Structure formats: C-alpha cells, structure tokens
Structure 1
C-alpha cells in the first residue's frame, strides 16, 4: 500500500527529474528523437524571476512519481487568465493511483488563486487513457480549435521576416 502521495512545486533541483520524465514521455509516444532539450534548459527557463513555465512534482513515499509542467495564458475573448498544461506525466509504476488527477486539480487551484477561470491542454490523438481522464474531469475536446505551430526554420523565418 502506498503510504504518502504528495504534490509540491518544482524546484531547480528537480530539473533532472523533469528531463527524465519528458524523455520517458517521448519514448512512450515513440517520439524520443523529438526531445532535444537538456537538463540545463529546464534549469535556465523553468526557475527564477523570469521562469517560462511552472512545474508541480508528485512524490510517492518521497520519490518522484509524476510531473505537471504548465504556464499561465490569457483569453482575450474571456478577458480572464488561465493555465496551459504543456506536459502531464505519471511514472508507469504509479499509474492508477489518481496522481494525474491530483496534479491537474492542483494546477487548476494554482490558476484559480491568480484569477484564472480555465485550463487548456493538448493530448496525443492515440493517448486514449489520458483522453478518458480529461473527459471524466470535464476537460473536453474542442472540436472547433486547431493547433498550429512554427518550429525550426519556419520559426526563424517568421521571427526574422523572411519568406519560407
């Protein structure tokens, strides 16, 4: 029986665990080759006064069990802040214990305390168990939204005013 599940804010000392979790997510989605970040990237961008993201760490009996990596967002239509969950990860050994739900509830509480009134996330189309969890929690699939992204050369061209 699991004695203690705890959710806490991520600390700079967690950068290695965050990196390992993201690598595990990549492997689980057969996209490990897409993960190009380093532990130093998490240290540099995830902590301090200008942090680009926040993190919550789930621990079971004092050891790493899961991660929620997020950042604040703002809806111009709603006129309200919210939170975007970039990554939600639960170690295979601890799945089924409600850790993912606890992490999502905690990040929603974090956002609500700052005036937020919504949460957004994206999920891999083949990750049906995660989709079921999200739907059970009222996080519904937005059929009218469509995510677009610019990476690599396309992003550089956009930022520098160049043609693709």
Structure 2
C-alpha cells in the first residue's frame, strides 16, 4: 500500500533516510534534524512531499519528491529526490509501486516530466528503472554548490 506521509511519520522517514545514506555509503554527510524535516515537509511552506510504502502495516520504503519547472515544455515537472525500500523488503513490488504512484501524481498534476538521478555505480537501480522504460539522460551533468562554496558564492558580487 502507498500512502502520503503525515507529521507523525517524521521519525520513520528519518530512519529510512539514514538507512538510504548507509546504503549509498554517505552517512558522513547526513546532518538530518527531525524538527527541520517536519517543518520542510509539513510547515507553512512545504518544500517537498513524501509517500510511504507499507507492508502488513509496517513502513518499508519511501519516496521524497518535489516540483520543478520546464521552461521548454512550459509545464511543471515532478522530481524524485530519494527512493528507498528496506533491503529485506525488496523484490516485492514496493519500489515499482512508489514510482507508479508518483507517475500518476505527475499526470494528475499536469506535469510534463518525471525525473530523478541515480548514482552511477547503482547498477540494480539503473536496470530496474530501464525495465519500465525510463531513459538515462547522458548528455546532462549535475552541478552542485554546498557548504562553504555555496556560502562564498552567495556573498559574491
């Protein structure tokens, strides 16, 4: 079953984010604070949304997403920031159900695109995405400013 997250789900979302970071070998960059996550998901100005996958009443996976915008299409898009299913619950259709749910949301909301990124070493995920028709965009490279570089550039004239 897929359902929208509620404020009471923040602790489980936090645990799933930490499990995702462990899977991606990125625990050293996690600075997650539940109070901030709650505010960013459910506050006066939500920045993202979360849907949860449940099995037998237990949350086993999540997808965190938000809207972006395509100037060329002149339409909103839906961007999947994170998708994660606990390893012991993989292979049971939860990941596909989460993605299908988001695809339906994108269509219902008039989005022209549904996009996400994947780590280049994550072959199982790449093969999974390609299995239902998703295409890797090889011509685009992702750029990112964080930490001190972001602060320094924000101060630039």
Same fold (TM over 0.5): yes
1:37 and 2:46 aligned: no
TM-score by length of 1: 0.91
Structure 2: any 5+ residue segments left out of the alignment?
Answer: none
C-alpha displacement of 1:146:
0.5
In structure 1, the residue corresponding to 2:111 is in which secondary structure?
A: coil
TM-score by length of 2: 0.95
Aligned residues: 157
Contact 1:89 1:100 in 2 (8 A): yes
- Deviation per residue, 1:58-88 (Å, 9 max, x gap): 1101111100000011111111111000000
1:103 and 2:98 aligned: yes
Structure 1 counterpart of 2:14: 19
Contact 1:72 1:111 in 2 (8 A): no
C-alpha displacement of 1:161:
2.0
CA distance in 2 between partners of 1:54 and 1:139 (Å): 22
CA distance in 2 between partners of 1:19 and 1:92 (Å): 16
Deviating 4+ runs (over 6 angstroms): none
Structure 2 counterpart of 1:67: 62
Query: Which of 119, 124, 135 is the matching residue for 2:114?
Result: 119
Structure 1: any 5+ residue segments left out of the alignment?
Answer: 1-5
Could you say what the CA RMSD is over the residues aligned between the two structures, in angstroms? Answer: 1.1
